[in-house]
Amino acid sequence: MSETGTEGFEVIDVKEQIISESDLDEAKEKVGSYEGLFNKRAMKYRQQGWNEKNLTDAEFKDLILNEYTFMKRPLYFIGDEVFGGNAKKTVEAIKAKLSE
């Protein structure tokens, strides 16, 4: 389910509608890797032992596509850039991009 905000933003609830493979591929092209979009703080990452494995980029992609908690959230597509997560550094980069 998605809704368009008053300022041209589209909000997608990834709990209800996991990111599409094409959107994930687009984000990867802008970020540089699926690992760059992967949330290593997700509880399941440690619980399932993924943190002890040397994962390939393709494995990071598969994990994200099969479990929304493995994707950095929220994920912002702004112009030609993608920002993932809500770390202070990320939020500052988003603010800078939006003020251009």
- What was the pLDDT predicted at 6? 41
Does the structure show a pLDDT above 90 at 51? Answer: yes
- What was the pLDDT predicted at 49? 96
Domain 20-98 of CATH type 3.30.70.20 = no
Residue indicated by tokens 């990452």 = 45
Which tens digit of pLDDT belongs to each residue from 4-31? 444 666 667 788 888 999 999 999 999 9
10, 4 contact by CB (below 8 A): yes
- What predicted TM-score, i.e. pTM, was given to this entire model? 0.83
pLDDT class of 80 with cuts at 50, 70, 90: confident
The gap from C-alpha 5 to its chain's centroid, in whole angstroms, comes to 20
